[in-house]
Amino acid sequence: MNNLLETPIEYLKGVGPARGEQLRKELGIFKYADLLNLFPNRYIDRTRYYRINELTNSGAEVQVVGKVINIKTVGDKRTRLVATFTDGTGEMELVWFQGQKWIRENLKLNVPYVIFGKATAFNGLFNMAHPEMEPLAEHEASLRSAMQPIYPSTEKLTQRGITNKVVNKMMQQLFTETQALFTDSLPASIINELQLIPKNAALFNIHFPKSQELLAKAQFRLKFEELFFIQLQLITKNLVRKHKIKGHPFGNVGEYFTTFYNNHLPFDLTGAQKRVLKEIRNDMGQAAQMNRLLQGDVGSGKTIVALMSMLLALDNGFQACLMAPTEILANQHFIGLSELAAPLGINIKILTGSTKTSERRIIHEALEDGSLHIIIGTHALLEDKVQFKNLGLAIIDEQHRFGVEQRSKLWQKNEIPPHVLVMTATPIPRTLAMSLYGDLDVSVIDELPPGRKPIQTVHRFDSNRLKVWKFLKDEIAKGRQIYIVYPLIQESEKMDYKDLMDGYESISRDFPLPQYSVSIVHGQMKPADKDSEMARFSAGKTNIMVATTVIEVGVNVPNASVMVIESAERFGLSQLHQLRGRVGRGADQSYCILMTGQKLSNDSKLRMETMVRTNDGFEIAEVDLKLRGPGDIMGKQQSGVLNLQIADIVKDKEILLIAREQAIKLLKDDAPMARPEHAALRHAYIEMTKKKNIWNYIS
């Protein structure tokens, strides 16, 4: 039966070469199986037939049974075709602006039709423009359901006459030709435990639902299956990596690690940091490659965990590297790690696009002869010239900004791949982490270092500006410093630049010299000027730093205790959260003030309320995921990863958890899926791994 589903789509009766070409181009439908898996977006309930005298002007779509009693062309310049339609309780008009000739030739008078569309009242008379029409006899005989499916479509398809009705007819033809016999690949144990309806019934009821209840069962079954196979793939990948991909076992906890832990820790580790270090030590002690994702909110102390992991590599005679997406971030890591490691006499260097050629040579040589222990850098680390003597640990920061190929370049620099630690300060909602990074082991630092007070966040409208400015002056009087951030969105750089400069001028007027001093940093400045302004602010020579989002990463000024975000409604939630994380780094109470205009969309209101309500990055990420969807959150490098056909990571979170649990249980029991009762599952799984769809992107 499955072979029939491989048939090219143009061979389906009613499709043909021209329509086949459109379906391929517009919807990626190449064969029968692709059409079968084109799932409806929504359904229209066609269980009810209205009488004309019951119609209301509600804008809802309705269906009416009646006859056309006459038809005429109206208008001079823009003609329209108007038919009078009656059902015995009243009359209404049917109107066509396009396709008039065809309708005139094919419409039969005094024959019962079922019409469907939006009925609107005009001068006391109802009319329906371009109704769907079907002779009553055909309507009663066709394979159709009371819940009418509406399929995904494009403007081009509709223009070429491939309407929803046409797709529906193709689907009927598909079910007639295949006789709806589809193989069930899920094992009986899972089907029974979750009381899933059979695959045949599920596919039939997703396209031709007999009732709301059967539709819900069909959706659950198909969503579960899709998510189950993703999880099966990810967990298998993880198991394979642990068994097949060799790693260097770091059995030695030596001098560097112990000396640092006993004598040079700048503060006591939190319980979460200790737990995460234990997980990392455990992984690196095995003869299999570590592949771990470390999530920690802004300021949770990931840097110290990264350093201690690197010291383990050094203790075992290996080198370590840390790769960051931007120079600012790489520099920040370099400064932070050099300070921490200074007492240990470790050789640490930085390599970025702006490293001078003479320095590069020295770095390359030191890396190859092993005298350079730790290298920190940007994409520059991926160049072929960069060769290690023995790289034992690669740490990647904010990895969603790196593509898969880029990361694999690092692994190829060694015969045995290094252990990998991926760090992110962008909290990833649990559901997304399970689907995107389900093959990584996840560690979370979920408590802030002691002595940090939670940042207080408030939302103020532009009309309250005088009060806000007074508050800033009071804070400056206490010796504190302030960030004022303006949005920067590429498309309208000119306008943003103007906003920033206007803001800077008015702030300089309201906070005049010599009493106050204001710095400014934006993307159009020369790097040297930017650095010197940042340095002045860090040294406490200026009270206020006016900036664009350049400061989202890479600035650490413990004395800065207030963050004012202008036009906060123009920022996404994760960006607002990242910006807020720039304050609250000292022991003083810190504040974040979100300034917006009076008029806010519902989404903007929700973003402001969320920021004021919670400091928890994971909770914020969940709201962000609901608002923006998975594609936006993962950014360009990873989008297209989750082109799910029926499930939705946000809405179907519960189903995802069940699917993951079932996949883990099955693989624990029978990892190679070799038992006779798993034969169909194994076959489907192998077929799926051949396809360059979602599966191969992940990892």
Render 594-652 in DSSP notation, one character per residue: EEE-S---HHHHHHHHHHHH---HHHHHHHHHHHHHHHHHHHHHHTTTT--SS--TTTT
Helix axes 617-638, 602-613, angle to 10 degrees: 130
Is the same domain home to 167 and 22?
Answer: yes
CB 374 within 8 A of CB 348: yes
pLDDT of 624 reads 87
pLDDT of 450 reads 75
pLDDT of 558 reads 83
Is the same domain home to 38 and 177?
Answer: yes
Domain that holds residue 520: 456-614
pLDDT of 126 reads 94
Number of domains in the chain: 4
Is the same domain home to 487 and 382?
Answer: no
Is the same domain home to 329 and 397?
Answer: yes
Is the same domain home to 323 and 465?
Answer: no
Taking phi over 0 as left and psi of -120 to 50 as alpha, with beta for the rest, 19 belongs to alpha
pLDDT of 491 reads 47
Is the same domain home to 368 and 494?
Answer: no
Q: Is residue 385 part of a domain?
A: yes
Instruction: Look up residue 541 and give its two tokens.
Output: 């020579």
Is the same domain home to 577 and 601?
Answer: yes
Q: What is the mean pLDDT of each run of 10 residues along the chain (699 residues)?
A: 83 94 94 93 83 84 93 88 95 93 92 92 89 90 75 90 92 90 91 95 91 89 93 86 83 93 91 95 91 83 93 96 87 90 94 92 95 94 91 85 65 83 81 73 82 89 95 96 82 66 91 93 82 87 87 70 94 88 84 95 94 89 80 45 74 88 93 94 86 39
Q: Is residue 633 part of a domain?
A: no
Q: Is residue 681 part of a domain?
A: no
CB 257 within 8 A of CB 421: no
Is the same domain home to 52 and 107?
Answer: yes
Is the same domain home to 176 and 81?
Answer: no
Q: Is residue 647 part of a domain?
A: no
Is the same domain home to 385 and 488?
Answer: no
pTM above 0.95, yes or no: no
Q: Is residue 560 part of a domain?
A: yes
Is the same domain home to 474 and 565?
Answer: yes
Instruction: Look up residue 278 and give its two tokens.
Output: 């234990």
Is the same domain home to 479 and 598?
Answer: yes
Domain end, chosen from 584, 614, 644, is at 614
